[in-house]
Structure formats: C-alpha cells, structure tokens
Structure 1
Amino acid sequence: MRLVFCGTPEFAVPTLEAVIAAGHEIALVVTQPDRAAGRGLEVHVPPVKQAALQHGLSVVQPEKIKNNLELRGRLEEIKPDAILVVAYGRIIPQWMLELPRFGNINLHGSLLPKYRGAAPIQWAVACGELVTGVTTMRLDAGLDTGDMLLAAVCPVGLEETAVDVYGCLAPLGAELMVETLKRLEAGTICPEVQNHSLATLAPILKREDGLVDFSRSAKQIYDRWRGFQPWPGAHTTLRGKKLIVSKMRIGGARSVAVGELLVDGEQMLVGCAGGTVAELLEVQMEGKKRMSAAEFLRGYQVKSGERLGI
C-alpha cells in the first residue's frame, strides 16, 4: 500500500518499522514539531522523526493541520491508500478522514471501547485491569469512537507498571497494524461498530492525578502508583512538605487510621481505606535525594502517629 504515517512518540516507532519491513511504501511521515523541554530547554526531536530519517523518509512537522493548505495539497498529491495514525497527538480533520480509500487507521492502546482518550495504557493499569490490549480502528469525527478492525490482548501482571505494559503493547500493536493492512487489502476484515454503552474514558494525565488519596484502599493506591509511572507518579505531603512515593507495595493487615503512619522497625506503613495498609519502600522529599524507607525513617526521625496528606 501507499501510506502516510502520522505518529510522534517512541510507542509509534515499532509500528512504523514493521510497516516498512512488510513492504509498504511510506510516502510521507507527519509528526509533531521539535520541542524545547527541560531546565536547559534542550530541543527534543520526536522519536518517529528520528526513525523516519534513518529510513530516508520524507518528514513534515506542521504546528496545525486542520486548515493547513500546504499539507492538504501534498496529501492529495500523494493519494494514499490509507493514513496510519499512532499516538500522533493531534485531532485528525475531516478532510484527512475522507482522503484515503481505506480511511485513517488508528492504533489505540486499549481494548476498545474501554479507555478511549489520550492515556489508555496508564488508566488501564491504574484501574487494576488484569488484561488490556491494542485495537486497530477506522477513525471518525469522534474521540476513539470509530469502527474496530482488529484487536490483540496483553495480560497485565499484578506488579507491572504502565512502563512495563507499554513495552508489551508497542510491538504487539506493530504486528496488529501489519495484519490489519494485509486483511484490508484482501478484503477479509469486517469492521465492528463499538458498543458505546460500554465505553470508558482515559483522559490526558495531570500532575494532580498523582496526589495520593488515602481514603482509597491500599490496592487502589498501589494500582494508581503503577499506572502513573513514570509521570505523574505518586506524591503526598509530610510535615507540610511534598513527599514523593518512589516505590511502594500493599502491606499486610494492620489497624492504622487512614493517612496515619505506622513505623515498625525499618518499615514505613500508612493506613488506607477499609483497614488496608500501604508500605512505602522508597520516598523522596521534594528537592532531596531518593531514600529507602529505613534511611528516611532514621534521617527524618519519623514517628508512628504522624499523618500524611496534611
């Protein structure tokens, strides 16, 4: 097929590589502009751009695409059979949806209709899912509401983080996209309308999502910690200062008030909802170094009965 590929982060690179390896022609790669980020405002090049240039592909990085006449003219000239969209980070305008004969094929990081939105992998883990996956779908004007083409499943381990699941889904999605293109060409795919009544949302993550709410159970808190790695992570406050929870696990049954610390030898435990307890294994005061619970308890002279979140 003659294709246009729209994608930006590392998650999209395996799909680009797999589609090239399968013999498809990538006539153009569309990715986000280079961005200055970090304290030194170092310019970061999108991983998809790096991969595309290594293959000698043409790359464009428009700031906007909806009313971009230059981009529209170029795509109309290319006449792609399909436009592939993998974590591009922009809403695809109607004119792009209508352009290719096979439509705009999106690789989404969940088993639709669950976890529609910008952060499906993170929210699936944060909600304690034991199974997630990837779905190829034909984009329409809605938010991940188009007809589903194919899906593939990935189990989620009880201790796996979003980073771990990301590592499973990226290559799985690449294989699925290649299979989707093969079956589209052969005419053997029957698009399936999503059951919108089963849809759940996975909105873009915000810094405040990482704030630990000890009125949740220890498992719920741990699942959110797993899902929100590496960002926004998990944080609370101790003695009025921000405390980052770098590593944690579910603790054994103890009688501890919600949000209250229990120091048991070198263990740093905190009471959660329903009589459950979370064990903080590694923590970091904002602006300070990351420490094991034992180091932190000694260094800060933490006592049982102190409260987190105040």
Structure 2
Amino acid sequence: MRFFSSPRALAPLAGAALTLFAAAHPAVADGDLSGAQRIVSIGGDVTEIVYDLGEQDRLVARDTTSSFPEAATDLPDVGYMRALAPEGVLSVKPDGILTIEGSGPPQALDVLARAGVPVATIPNGFTRDAVVAKIEAVGKALGVPEKAAPLAEKAGKSLDDAIAEARAIDRDTRVLFILSMQGGRIMGAGSDTAAAGILELAGLTNAITGMTGYKQLSDEAVIAAAPDVVLMIDRGAGHVVDPEELFSNAALSQTPAGREHRLVRMDGLFLLGFGPRTAEAVRDLSSRLAADGL
C-alpha cells in the first residue's frame, strides 16, 4: 500500500472512502473510545500503554513508531505518526483512533474526524507526572480507568525510585543528545524536548542551553557545550553513525566527549517514549554513565 504525506494529494483520493465510511459510522463524542473495538493506535508510548492495560485485542493497526512490544509489529502499519494519510488509516475500518498529542498533520486528523471516526488525543509531556497522566488518560479514553489506576501508580512509584537512585550519584555530567548528523551538521536537543526531559530525570545536565526544541548547532555552540558524553538513538543496522566518523567532526573532536570517544546509544522508544518503561530507561542511562565514571 502506498501512503502520501501531502494533505493536498490526500483530499481527492480519500473523498470516496470518507463518504462511505461516514455513512456507516456516525460521529461519537471526541475522546470517548469506550465502545470502540477496532482502534488504530498512533504513538509508540500510547501503544505500549494499551498493551500494558491488556486492551491490545481492540487494536487493528498502529503507526511506525509503535515497535514495542514486539507483538505490536504484527499489526498493519498506517505510517509515521506525523505524516498520516487518512485513506491508509481508513483502510483498516477503525471505529476509533487513539493518538498522542503532536500526531498529524492536523488536516489528516480533521479528515478522519469528519469521516465519523472518534479521535482521542492523549496529552504528551516529558516529566514524571506526565507519564502518570498519560497512562490515566489512555485508560479513561478506552473506558478502563480501573485498569489504568494501578498501572499509573506503579509507574509513578518506579519513577520516583529510579529518579532518587540516579540523583543520589554525585555527578556533574554534561550530555549532548544528537538527533542526527545530516551533512555533517549536528542536530542537538534544547529544552522542551524528550531528550532534555530524560536527562533531567536521570540527574544529568543537558549540555545545550538557551535553545528550545531540536535544532542544528553551529560549531561554536558544540564546542561551548563541552559535553562529557554524547547520547544518540540506536537506529539499527544501516542507520548508525560510525563512532570514528562521529568524533572526527571538527567541533565535537574539541570537546571532552570527543577526546575520550564517549558515546552511549539507546533504543529511541525506550529512551524518549515517556511511557511505562521510562523508569527502566532512567536506570539504564544512569548506570551506563556511572560505569564509565560519569
């Protein structure tokens, strides 16, 4: 199946399908999926929570970022969460869409809503409380708050313990999270990002200050950041930046991380998902750096 990311390209293709689907599925109150039995889950963190709640039998499809648990990858993939195509989503005949905040494009979600498919949007965030709230919100949207309450409580307690353990280590470790290195240009993480959030939970210092979001960094900014270690997502075979190539970067080679070739790679959903496994991610990241004397 071919998917399109351009809203203009989608409109003429989706029209007929939308008309038929809307006739068969009258609109349901936004956010209420309690009666839905054919749900498309958008967002790896949201999908994880659905499985942890034991509601996975109600899923008929998921997005590309939903790679955990492994069983989720057996579901049809409707595309990347920020480049959804309405006709791809509608092809699995959903009666509900569960999506993490920031999915889209907005035009695609509007088209789906006009087709009569209820859309429940789960708030996102990069804090301990955001994880707890996310679990509770998924449970409420699915109509199973009684299942979500103990899971949320367990996640909150685990996070409290992991955060306390990590912050008990006497450290002042500066971490540079690198999202990509296209064309040799480093794209780093400023504040208001999942990367900044996980570093804070682990008691680590984000080497990039005075910047929000993910942006390309100048050589001067990289040198001034003076990171002790570089943190990157493990993208799998064929997509991994070679350490020698990474630390041969003119700016990065002048930093403590570059001189010592200190690099940590972790699975992206595990590290940045802010879902049920975030406490494990905090412990894993903290222990890896502690093992290296950081």
Given the two structures, how large is their TM-score scaled by the length of structure 2? 0.36
**Comparing both chains, which one has the higher relative contact order based on Cα–Cα distances under 8 Å and sequence gaps of 6 or more?**
2
The structure that has the greater radius of gyration is 1
User: Which has a greater percent of strand?
Assistant: 1
User: Which has a greater percent of helix?
Assistant: 2
